[in-house]
């Protein structure tokens, strides 16, 4: 449970992950929960994603860094960053990502 919402995390595709490995993953995740760690936060951190509680500005910086290699030129990268810095960061920058609701978005 996180913020009153039940979360589930599966072991992976049965086509790719053998049953014995899926069982081992489940045991490892259960141990993490017993130790007071959130396996979903651990997974997201390992994937380079920010854990729950990170602000919009943190996530934005991480996403832009990950996506800018796919943009054709430096001008395009600057346009994305400038637009987000101008319109989104002043409103959402300091808010935790989990706390942002549709009504918080600038129009």
pLDDT tens sequence across 2-49: 778 888 888 878 888 888 988 998 898 888 888 888 888 777 776 666
Q: Supply the pLDDT for residue 82.
A: 92
pLDDT surpassing 70 at residue 98 = yes
* Domain limits, the chain: 12-49, 56-104
* Percent of the chain with pLDDT strictly greater than 90: 7
Written as six digits, the tokens of 68 are: 């800018």
Q: Supply the pLDDT for residue 83.
A: 92
Written as six digits, the tokens of 12 are: 């992976």
When the pLDDT of each residue in the chain is averaged and rounded to a whole number, the result is 82
């Amino acid at each position: 449970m996180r913020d009153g919402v039940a979360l589930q995390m599966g072991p992976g595709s049965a086509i790719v992950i053998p049953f014995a490995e899926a069982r081992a993953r489940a045991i490892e995740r259960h141990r993490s929960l017993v130790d007071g760690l959130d396996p979903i936060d651990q997974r997201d951190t390992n994937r380079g994603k920010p854990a729950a509680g990170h602000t919009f500005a943190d996530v934005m910086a991480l996403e832009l860094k990950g996506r800018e290699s796919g943009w054709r030129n430096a001008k395009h990268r600057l346009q994305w960053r400038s637009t987000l810095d101008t319109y989104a960061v002043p409103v959402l920058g300091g808010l935790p990502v989990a706390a942002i609701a549709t009504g918080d978005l600038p129009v």
